[in-house]
Structure 1
Amino acid sequence: MENYEAIFEPLTVKRMTLKNRVIMPPMGTNFANMDGSFNNEHITYYEQRAKGGTGLITLENACIDYPMGTNGTTQLRIDNDQYLPGLWKFNEVMHSYGACTSVQINHAGASAYGLRLEGKQAVSASNIPSKKGNAVPRPLLKEEILEIVKKYGEAANRAQRAGFDCVEIHAGHSYLVSQFLSPLYNQRTDEFGGSPENRSRFAKLIVEEVRRAVGPHYPICLRFSADELLEGGNTLEDTLDLLTYFVEEIDILNVSAALNDSIQYQIDQMNLADGWRSYMAKAVKEKFGKVTITSGNIRSPKIANDILLKGDADLLAMGRGLIAEPNWVNKVKNGEEQLLRKCISCNIGCADHRIAKSRPLRCTVNPDVIYEDAYKEHQVKNHLKMVVIGGGTAALEAATTAAEVGVEVILFEAKAYLGGLAHEIARLPDKRRIDDYVIYLKERAKQLPNLTIHLQTKATVEMIEKIKPDIVVNATGAKPLLPPIKGLQEQLENPNRKVFSIFDLLNNMENFQEFTGKRIAVIGGGAVGLDVVEYYAERHAESVSIVEMQPTLGKDLDMITRISMMDIIQRHGVATYTETALTQVNEASFTVMQQGEEVDIPFDLGFVCLGMKAERPLMEPLMSYQKESGATVVNLGDSKVARRIYEGTKEARDILTTVHQVDREKGRQSLKQYSYQ
């Protein structure tokens, strides 16, 4: 086991000394109270990451100018002193674990949350929306600009008085400072627009005001989009030029990327490599010689350590990685790398929940982002047995959770491997991160002597009767939905077929490695169909077509995956047929109905990806067994309803409710028997 010494080397910036090189960057949570104050769950969420060994905890962006500068459904505020007690309490808790703290101060500008503006028009550098389809803002007057500058200084002073060790100015990601820096937003003709020096003027005034407010010895961090990754936006070279005008008083440069319309490179899509944007941090560090932060899908301790050893950056920002695994630092330090619950970059519970759906932050692979392992403190009081049928992610999460509270668990999986559909989908190169969750669950299971796993064993009711379990969990997953469409079954049974289901692809990847000259047609524009499109389009098949009955593709996908998939479709010229129905499957073409007309889509390989349906062959006999034996039967995961890993993980952790109910009832029954005797 490697020791990854570079990760654990302390770093001093002015009067702040970090115990290691891992930082938690600011990430919105929707945990704050409506008035912008903290609540106990909010602080407990951050406490888990401080307790887990993180060197620097950066509190999510706090509003400096309410309501005009607010963003998100609920957001912390730092625009007046009434918020100091809560911020002070936050710092007390974080510091008790040896973590240093920072807070990101921010004005949303044109990205302001519309419902909180009380009918007022959002403000910006110009009248350009911060995102396609967003409301048009109005340009700020010069006197308003100077007033906002003053508010940044006041917020920084409050941060210092609240006990933060550092303050971070947000100058990226389509917020107000970014809206002045970027030529995509800034079309002003006064001293705040036009040339790089003029576009930098607002940022320069803010940095100077913050420095006056906090004094010479207090660290100031700046987060910015080094490359906006949009045509006409700032490139890395442009940003290096812009920084020369206002970098002097900055101590730490937090190098991020992208704007709202390239958000898949800010909140990194799944197929981007670990630390993919560290080259940007390296360029910034080489030019300015200041402490530099990098980020971007950093999950692997080895890659994290290598980034530091190569000198690409001084600090590693792990955002979603610390949502998924609050104990990342301690596990790596203690040689428990195999037990890391790595973020799979699915962006469902974090980005999509919070940004697209105004829900509180959650996580696909971490079913309790607030209390983490607190459930383990509540062990069962009676001897309970549980049988789990299935070995997918929901089955494994239910089995390990129950075993961790003292239940004797026996799991049966009919296949020769664990992980179910998650493991199978991860065979697609662009989805390989999903297997990290499977690996974690398997390693977690190995630590539990009261959990027995039987592979290549198809469970039967007769087997279960012999075990006499108190609880039976059915988690047998899902199978492809193949409706009775003319020619479909015949072509799937054709020995020389060119038509396949998703499992044909996933279970025989070696037979689907040819791309050049291949015409690909995919029926179904949901997650599964788009995964097939991604596989072939990104590997330059001759042509790719996709057919979907709904008006839009990927309507149930998280926002980041959907944006990245639409980008793939546009870049590779994928032929898209929406509001189009499959009517017949032929040997080398699909016949579809589009706007009342029949169209033939020829292919060399055709894939029918019309979704998944629950597979639960044992449920009927299990319900009879429940009536006869008194055992509790629970159906969960895709065998209940075919959905995403996120829903299955949540349901699996909820097995605790059943476990403790059965435990209490068994205790009552034992007490009755004892009293009778």
Structure 2
Amino acid sequence: MPAFNDYEHVYKPLPLGRTTLRNRIIFSPMVCDYADSIGQPTQGYIDFIEEQARTGVALVNVGATPVNWDTAPDYPAELDVTQDNKINGLVLLADAAHRHGSKISIELVHAGRGVHPELIKSKWALAPSNFPISGQYPYIKEMDQHDIEEIIACYVDCAKRLKRAQFDGVLVHAAHGNLLGQFLSPLTNHRSDCYGGSLENRSRFPLMILKAVREAVGDDFFLDMRISGDEMVEGGMKIDEVIEFIKMAQEYIDMVNISAGLIVDWRAQFFTMPPYYQPHCLNVSLSRAVKECPDVTIPVTVVGCIANIDEAEEIIGSGAADACYMARALLADPEMLKKSYRGEPESVRPCLRCYSCADGGGNHISCAVNPQLGRGHRYWEIRLALKRKKVVVIGGGPAGMMAAQTAVKRGHEVVLFEQNESLGGTLNDINKLPFKYDLLNYTEWVVGQTLACGADIRLGVEATPEVVMRENPDAIIVATGAEPVQASIPGINRENVIPVRDVDSGRVKVSGEVVVCGGGSSGCETALALAMGGCKVTIVEKGDNDSFAHGMTHITRGMLIALLESNKVTCLGEHVVLSVDDEGVHVGDSQWQEQVLKADFVVDALGLKPTPSEQYVELIPEVHVIGDCGRIGNIYRANQSAFDCAMEL
């Protein structure tokens, strides 16, 4: 086969059952919360499926979809594929994918003991074995033969319905501690009957489901299966047993997807949905083990922090997998496949792996670096403004750069003032942390894109009102960011008290015993980096233990807290900083009991406040304040507010 630019493998078709995938990139299933209250797809859902297909992927997988609405749901706003009166809406999803040449599948799941307690209609959670789990349910029912047969029938019923709805196949979810995985795993299956004990017995129920579905849908409807190659907890499934199960399952399935971890165990959640603290391509060793087994004859795919087409090419070319599941990277830049095919991989917008896209809890799909995502046809294309304006942007941080780029694309004349000698703002400091290499890549990309976007970029220029008005602007966008809060704490200005951004950037080196004042996300991540570098670190936070890293996405915060613990960072909640002196940091609890924390260095992470913008707001009628100088937020909010502002100019 000839190479496509530098990619010999990614763009090569892949036979799958009786069909063929046009390339080796598959959109990994994501829960998008776009179904309505009765499980029908809204227009937003249809648009999101079409957005995925427009990327050029070979196959779109609809995210976790329960096979039974009484006992199986695990997320709000999931699709209902259990009733014939929902077929019309499902056909619209299939049509949205097929319109752009993609195949479409759906991830069928029964959450078992991991069901959402507020969503299930029954009074119990079904599971292979009844033993305590976090006290969420009145009780867990150990499944009897009737339950087993009923759930098998549910899978069959849903698969047949999806075939009628013009889907091309289904992805059976046997990973992450869902019901099928619970039967497979010795960690959660304690049965003594024919469904427990040996691997052969633990495999019986999942194999019964796969066999029944295959017989029901025939061989012109593909069956894919997702499984955790390693559950990443003591007593869980490991790769040797997983391979043995795949060898049994391949009689019924056309492809297997290798993931890792457990959703139902906080110790392993960080492998099912890996945040930026995890390495790229973290499950490749597992898929390679499956692929290298001579008795596994079906295509093997892999998922987990595959960030770009170069990584996918390396994985497939090295023989570690036949195809790659990707999601977040394609959300960050839907043109990734096309840009890479054209030989322009450097123009691909990097993903931060921050999980703004999949935080759950009823949030519609969105992206910290791609504000066009999940907002329907209105924002698929950035259209020219009806009237061209002269726009002055003040500040070259994340918000200012997004505003400038978007305004230029809309045809406006843009002048951007940045008082420093480089663009990037706060990004240039926080991207130096050892686990922020994704942010470093993004900073380099977004600065380069801004410099090349066509705006008049004026570095090292302070945008005083006089300087701004000399441009005779039609609109002013203020994006001057935030500044540290000046806390009224005795000793806070001592030489050994270092602002958090100076620590993050490496401008000031700290060592020894360190007290971080402030347990927000910034303080916690700085504390982690210092502990990883050998410091003995204590974080002081006035809120309770739930306040540490408050505001981060669920999975990312969970892993951060776990990393703080494993790196022996002391998190001292419900304490306030009273003073800093030669003894150390004086702190007090709610009972006003005081203690002194020894400190060679103290890090000031006590928060930010918007920079003043009053000097600009009355210069002309059209002045917009965006990003942190409007309201303290994060990169997601900075980019979103900037994009929205520029789209309305």
TM exceeding 0.5: yes
Q: Paired residue for 2:280, among 267, 274, 277?
A: 274
Moved more, 309-318 or 589-598: 589-598
Q: Paired residue for 2:338, among 327, 330, 335?
A: 330
Q: Paired residue for 1:597, among 590, 593, 618?
A: 593
1:101-122 alpha-carbon deviations (Å, 9 max, x no partner)? 2111111222223333235222
3-state SS of paired residue (2:9): helix
Q: 1:130·1:179 contact (CA, 8 Å) conserved in 2?
A: no
1:145-184 alpha-carbon deviations (Å, 9 max, x no partner)? 1111122122222222222222210001222112212233
Distance (whole Å) between structure 2 residues aligned to residue 563 and residue 505 of structure 1: 23
Share of identical aligned residues, percent?
Answer: 30
**Residue of structure 2 in register with 1:649 after alignment:** 639
Q: Paired residue for 2:326, among 314, 318, 326?
A: 318
Distance (whole Å) between structure 2 residues aligned to residue 131 and residue 385 of structure 1: 58
- Distance change (3 Å), C-alpha of 1:383 and 1:275: same
Shift of 1:396: 1.0
Q: 1:16·1:100 contact (CA, 8 Å) conserved in 2?
A: no
TM-score by length of 1: 0.90
Q: Paired residue for 2:630, among 625, 632, 640?
A: 640
Q: Which amino acid aligns with 2:608?
A: M
**Residue of structure 1 in register with 2:353 after alignment:** 345
Q: Could you list the runs of 5+ residues in structure 1 that have no partner in the other structure?
A: 660-677
Moved more, 25-34 or 418-427: 418-427
**Residue of structure 2 in register with 1:606 after alignment:** 602
- Distance change (3 Å), C-alpha of 1:99 and 1:172: same
Q: Paired residue for 2:433, among 428, 434, 453?
A: 428
3-state SS of paired residue (1:467): coil
1:549-585 alpha-carbon deviations (Å, 9 max, x no partner)? 1112222221112111121122122222111111111
- Distance change (3 Å), C-alpha of 1:136 and 1:239: farther
Shift of 1:130: 6.5
**Residue of structure 2 in register with 1:672 after alignment:** none
1:75-105 alpha-carbon deviations (Å, 9 max, x no partner)? 1121122222222222222122111221111
Q: Which amino acid aligns with 1:94?
A: A
Distance (whole Å) between structure 1 residues aligned to residue 434 and residue 561 of structure 2: 18
Does residue 571 of the first structure (1) align with residue 563 of the second (2)? no
Q: Could you list the runs of 5+ residues in structure 2 that have no partner in the other structure?
A: none
Q: Which amino acid aligns with 1:188?
A: R
Q: 1:49·1:327 contact (CA, 8 Å) conserved in 2?
A: no
3-state SS of paired residue (1:429): coil
3-state SS of paired residue (2:585): strand
**Residue of structure 2 in register with 1:523 after alignment:** 517
TM-score by length of 2: 0.93
Shift of 1:318: 0.8
Moved more, 139-148 or 332-341: 332-341
- Distance change (3 Å), C-alpha of 1:267 and 1:484: same
**Residue of structure 1 in register with 2:474 after alignment:** 470
Does residue 393 of the first structure (1) align with residue 398 of the second (2)? yes
Q: Which amino acid aligns with 2:571?
A: T
Q: 2:53·2:100 contact (CA, 8 Å) conserved in 1?
A: yes
**Residue of structure 2 in register with 1:104 after alignment:** 107
**Residue of structure 1 in register with 2:555 after alignment:** 560
Distance (whole Å) between structure 2 residues aligned to residue 530 and residue 291 of structure 1: 42
Q: 2:492·2:579 contact (CA, 8 Å) conserved in 1?
A: yes
Distance (whole Å) between structure 1 residues aligned to residue 425 and residue 10 of structure 2: 34
Q: Paired residue for 1:290, among 295, 298, 323?
A: 298
Shift of 1:23: 0.6
3-state SS of paired residue (2:225): strand
3-state SS of paired residue (2:292): helix
Shift of 1:651: 0.9
Shift of 1:133: 5.5
Moved more, 598-607 or 133-142: 133-142
Distance (whole Å) between structure 2 residues aligned to residue 652 and residue 504 of structure 1: 26
Distance (whole Å) between structure 1 residues aligned to residue 318 and residue 216 of structure 2: 36
1:489-543 alpha-carbon deviations (Å, 9 max, x no partner)? 1x1xx3xxx321112213335x53x86xx3232111110111112102233x252
Q: 2:504·2:526 contact (CA, 8 Å) conserved in 1?
A: no
**Residue of structure 1 in register with 2:143 after alignment:** 140
**Residue of structure 1 in register with 2:270 after alignment:** 264
Distance (whole Å) between structure 2 residues aligned to residue 135 and residue 278 of structure 1: 40
**Residue of structure 2 in register with 1:544 after alignment:** 537
Q: Which amino acid aligns with 2:643?
A: R
**Residue of structure 2 in register with 1:674 after alignment:** none
1:384-533 aligned at under 5 Å gives the runs: 384-446=389-451, 448-449=453-454, 451-489=455-493, 491=494, 494=495, 498-509=496-507, 511-512=508-509, 518-533=512-527
**Residue of structure 2 in register with 1:123 after alignment:** 126
3-state SS of paired residue (1:150): helix
Does residue 230 of the first structure (1) align with residue 233 of the second (2)? yes
1:130-279 aligned at under 5 Å gives the runs: 136-260=139-263, 261=266, 262-279=268-285
Q: Paired residue for 2:79, among 69, 76, 79?
A: 76
Distance (whole Å) between structure 2 residues aligned to residue 129 and residue 364 of structure 1: 38
Shift of 1:218: 3.4
- Distance change (3 Å), C-alpha of 1:128 and 1:478: farther
Q: 1:197·1:245 contact (CA, 8 Å) conserved in 2?
A: no
Shift of 1:222: 0.6
Distance (whole Å) between structure 1 residues aligned to residue 400 and residue 535 of structure 2: 40
Distance (whole Å) between structure 2 residues aligned to residue 99 and residue 466 of structure 1: 52
